[in-house]
Structure 1
Amino acid sequence: MIKHEKEYVLKVEKEESLSFVESLKKMNINFIKKEGNFLEFDLIGVDPSIANTLRRIIISEVPSIAAEKILVYKNSGDVPEEILANRIGLIPVLRDPECVHDLSEKKFTLKVKNKENKVLSVYSNDIEGEENFFKPNVLLTKLGPKQEIHLEIFCNINIGKDHAKYSPVSPATYRLMPSIKIGEIYDEEAIKLASLFPEGVIGLNNENGRIKAYVKGPRKDFVSREVLRYNEFDNKVWIGREVNHFIFTIESIFMDSLIILQRAISILIKKAEKLKNDILKRDD
């Protein structure tokens, strides 16, 4: 129990710590929303260490493709070679690494000369090679009149632990599920209570001609604790977070976010098996 300075009580749901194996057996995944590359799901019944491990694997250990080696033959533009190479390395590659073969043999060329009397923008669309390999419309550099650029690009498969450009996701975050409990709150107090939370968290019902507040959507709350400022809600509203219930959000760069999650879980299982075998060998 955590006490506020106004003697307002924040209730936090608690569970006993579980062993790693027991925690994995209790793990449950509920998919909430999937739109394009965005995925929201609930991870329930695991220790925070496992939730954080899964997040870190998603970010840094699921392989993806990026430009690695860049040979610059000519660059008379204003952007230095090292900065240009870094920008090219960060262009999202529109390929699943498990579906690409002989990547070492693929060569891409960027050769542009500004023949006009105005500034020319150079985009990822100007890279020649396999069609639709790089994400289009990514600005790389600008060339003044008579300036030119000529370089070759080679890609490889790696993981975000080696370099952030290989991370298959943009944001990958989680937060604990909010826990909100309220007493009997009616009429003006009910309307005021609803206004102290994000829209959709507290609902209002008509009960025998009176307006009654109820908890409608706790997952929409971010536990701002704004309600703690008002004495009239002392001992009527309890807020906190549910331990071992995590709201995950993933937005992938290109690959299907469900596939990324599946591969991350497979990597987690392999790591757990390796750890178990190493411990057993040490005991022997």
Structure 2
Amino acid sequence: MGIDNSVSAEKFCKNFKVEISRLTEDDMEFDMIGIDASIANAFRRILIAELPTMAIEKVLMVDNTSVIADEVLLHRLGLIPLDADPRHFEYMSENDVPNERNTIVYKLHVSCKKGSPWLTVKSGDLEWLPEGSRLPLASPAQSRDKQKTYTSFSRSQNDILEKPLGVKFKDITIARLGPGQAIELEVHAVKGMGKVHAKWSPVATAWYRMFPEVVFRKEIKGDNAEKLVKKCPVNVFDIEDLGNGEKRAVVARPRACTLCRECVMGPSREQVELRRVRDHFIFTIESTGGLPPEALFTEAVRILEEKCERVISELS
């Protein structure tokens, strides 16, 4: 009897399940059962490239006498994960003016005094400015006219946000300053998506694998069972006592299988078969910190739903 590869809404509603096996603040692992590989891959691509997040886009440099070039310093700043919920902010277009709804402003002002040891500048040194700029910063054209402007907000972001903003990890090294060196700058973080630049990707990684299935073609007993158990590097197999001194190998932890194929090497190759379950995927999401992983998956489902609605609308 062949495998049923037909697709129908009734079959999907009957078989689809999501089972969470691990959930922490930074990552989650869950099973998606009853879907096609194309759907699993759609979620992966949306998570990486189409979920918005906040990241540093513009840097207004006042002073940088460190050994790190401006371009390298700016690149490092852009990749720092921000502890800011993108759902509270709007996208900023070219003609928009920075305000409390589309821009987050941070200041970095550190210096190493002469005669002091080297100073490590970390991401925790970034200071959130809820009311916009405090430094008089100017564009090149304005500098020629000796005019200075401020990026001030009409009202403080404290009034519209649930919690203070900052960086997700405070121990990321940005630079090291020698005696007499200093960095003074202001950065503007805006909303964007990973398909524009990787700094806006909300996940460190999002990946999936088919659920492994280990099948015995015939029972493996005695010494052969002991050898099979010792051969597996991830302890997929275990020993079952049958009584009267007899033992046999059983598949105790199929989820741990990495398909390294050690079990099908040597004398056991005719007794063990490795397969993959076609409609069962083990999905892993590692968040960079802007949103918890379960919220990222919920947002990915919402985006895929909007895409489907748009297609249906165009067809009708």
TM beyond 0.5: yes
Query: 1:123 deviation in Å?
Result: 1.2
Q: 1:138 to 1:233 in 2, by over 3 A?
A: closer
Whether the 8 Å contact between 2:56 and 2:78 is mirrored in structure 1 is: yes
Worse-superposed segment, 131-140 or 181-190: 131-140
Listed as ranges, the gaps of 5+ residues in structure 1 are 1-12
2:52·2:194 contact (CA, 8 Å) conserved in 1? Answer: yes
Letter in 2 for 1:161: K
- 2:121 is paired with a residue whose SS is strand
Please say if 1:98 is aligned against 2:80: no
Deviation by residue 1:76-135 (Cα, 9 ceiling, x = unmatched): 111111110110011110121124582445421111221132322111122222565113
Picking from 63, 71, 82, the partner of 2:71 is: 82
SS at match of 2:22: strand
- Aligned-partner Cα distance in 1 for 2:48–2:236: 30
Q: Is the contact made by 2:27 and 2:285 (CA closer than 8 Å) also made in structure 1?
A: yes
Structure 1 CA distance for aligned equivalents of residues 67 and 11 of structure 2: 55
Distance 1:48 1:14 in 2: 15
| Structure 1 pair 15–163 and aligned structure 2 pair: CA distance change class (3 A) | farther
SS at match of 1:107: strand
Q: Percent identity?
A: 33
1:173 and 2:207 matched: yes
Greater displacement, 32-41 / 173-182: 32-41
Alpha-carbon contact 1:55-1:172 (below 8 Å) kept: yes
- Superposed counterparts of 1:112-131, under 5 Å: 112-117=110-115, 118-130=117-129
Question: Is 1:184 the counterpart of 2:219 in the alignment?
Answer: yes
Partner of 1:162: 196
Q: Deviations over 1:35-67 (max 9, x none)?
A: 331201011111111110111111111111111
How many residue pairs get aligned? The number is 266
User: Is 1:198–1:221's contact at 8 Å kept on the other side of the alignment?
Assistant: no
- Paired residue secondary structure (2:56): strand
Classify the secondary structure of the residue corresponding to 1:181. Answer: strand
**Structure 1 moving runs of 4+ over 6 Å:** none
Q: Which amino acid aligns with 2:198?
A: A
What amino acid does structure 1 have at the position aligned with 2:285? I
Amino acid paired to 1:258 = E
Matched letter for residue 92 of structure 1: P
Unaligned runs of 5+ in 2: 91-99, 130-163
Tell me the distance in 1 between the aligned counterparts of 2:184 and 2:3.
Answer: 61
Q: Which range moved further: 193-202 or 242-251? A: 193-202
CA pair 23-149 structure 1, distance change in 2 beyond 3 A: farther
Question: RMSD over aligned Cα, in angstroms?
Answer: 2.0
Q: Evaluate the alpha carbon distance shift between residue 184 and residue 245 of structure 1 in structure 2; reply closer, same or farther with a 3 A threshold.
A: same
Give, as a single letter, the amino acid of the residue that structure 2 aligns with 1:80: A
Aligned to 1:247: 282
CA distance in 1, matches of 2:194, 2:233: 35
Aligned partner (choices 237, 250, 255) of residue 219 of structure 1: 255
Larger deviation: 121-130 or 240-249?
121-130
What secondary structure does 2:128 align onto? coil
Q: Where do 1:1-284 residues align within 5 Å?
A: 14-18=3-7, 25=13, 26-99=15-88, 102-104=100-102, 106-117=104-115, 118-130=117-129, 133-134=166-167, 135-182=169-216, 183-208=218-243, 209-234=245-270, 236-254=271-289, 255-280=291-316
Rounded Cα–Cα distance in structure 2 between residues aligned with 1:31 and 1:252: 16
Per-residue CA deviations over 1:170-197 (Å, capped at 9, x if unaligned) read 1211001011111211111111111232
How far apart are the structure 1 equivalents of 2:183 and 2:309? 50
Structure 1: how far apart are the matches of 2:76 and 2:11?
42
Alignment partner of 2:232: what SS?
coil
Confirm or deny: 8 A CA contact 1:59 1:169 kept in the other structure: yes
Structure 1 residue identity aligned to 2:46: I
**Offset of 1:258 from its aligned partner?**
0.5
Superposition TM-score, scaled by structure 2 size: 0.79
Moved more, 115-124 or 244-253: 115-124
Alpha-carbon separation, structure 1, partners of 2:11 and 2:178: 60
Decide whether the 8 Å contact of 1:14 with 1:243 is kept in 2: no
- 1:185–1:213: 8 Å Cα contact kept in structure 2? yes
Match of 2:83, SS?
coil
